[in-house]
Amino acid sequence: MEWWAAWDGTPERDLASEEVLLSVAAERGRPLLFAYGWKRPVLVLGFGQDSSEVDLAACRNRSVTVVRRCSGGAGVLYTGDLALSLALPVEHPWARSIGGLYDGFVTALKQGVEDLGVHPERGQGIPQPGRRSPICFEDHLAETLLWKGKKVLGCAQTRRQDAVLVHGALLLGVDAELQAAVYGVTRERIEAILGALPRERYDSREALAVHLARSLSDALGLSTLPPGPPPPLPTEWVDRLHDPKWVVVGSKE
């Protein structure tokens, strides 16, 4: 499987690259993976999430970039964590249904994590009517993984005419104080819901990405290629880097 990796990019560009990922997967007619992460804290809102659900003043004061992804769901605050986005052409078997896409993706990641000696559980919850929590990691739906009862993997997806994309956020650490400030909740609430993959189980975030890319490739019946950088953004996507719809609080370089 071909895949991209970015560890020094900006969140604005990386989230725009997810859209490019969809286009390339559709054009080539095969799966494509994008692994990325940032050194600074970044809050990623779901596509339809209202930014008033988080404390934007706290984000600005603490130099937290706030961007919006193309997939749905609620906010994820990344603090050195791993993001994985898999795009598939719409005719791929995994892409036939929302549940099937989640199941294929999460099952492959679960196997990859188990190969490290960690045995997470799948969430068992079902969506409930009414307003959802603004914190992605506060639900335990079927598209989640739990470690010792706390959520370590949250997923979301988006579907286009020619391709689909499923995104996973794997927590590698928890800054409970920062999380609480960004969401305007108590530290105790954060500590009760957020977990992290044990650090002693992998050498680095980059090595973990390689390991999980291999697990996804195996599940898809593909060989794993070495990662390459994401391609330059097409001209029509450059303006998005400054669009307040997508970049709510920009990076401070």
Q: What is the reported pLDDT for 202?
A: 95
- CA torsion sign for 51, 158, 99, 217 is negative
Residue 222 identity (one-letter amino acid):
L
- Which amino acid is residue 193, in one-letter code? I
Does the pTM exceed 0.75? yes
What lies within 8 Å, CB to CB, of 56 at 6+ separation is 66, 248, 249
Query: Would you tell me how many other CB atoms lie within 10 Å of the CB of residue 8?
Result: 9
Amino acid at 170: L
139 confidence band (pLDDT: 50, 70, 90): confident
Neighbours of 110 (CB within 10 A): 18
pLDDT in tens, 166-181: 999 999 999 999 999 9
Domains in the chain, start-ordered, CATH in brackets? 2-233 (3.30.930.10)
φ, ψ for residue 234 (rounded to 5)?
-60, 155
Model pLDDT for residues 197-217, shown as the tens digit of each residue: 999 999 999 999 999 999 999
pLDDT digits (tens, 9 = 90+) for 7-65: 999 999 999 999 999 999 999 999 999 999 999 999 999 999 999 999 999 999 999 99
Q: What is the pLDDT of residues 52-101, one digit of tens each?
A: 999 999 999 999 999 999 999 999 999 999 999 999 999 999 999 999 99
237 pLDDT band, cuts 50/70/90, is confident
Full strand arrangement of the beta sheet holding 32-36: 2-6, 32-36, 82-89, 163-170, 150-159, 145-147, 121-122
Strand partners, 68: 45
- Asked if 158 and 164 touch (Cβ cutoff 8 Å), the reply is yes
Q: Report d(CA 98, CA 100) in Å as an integer.
A: 6
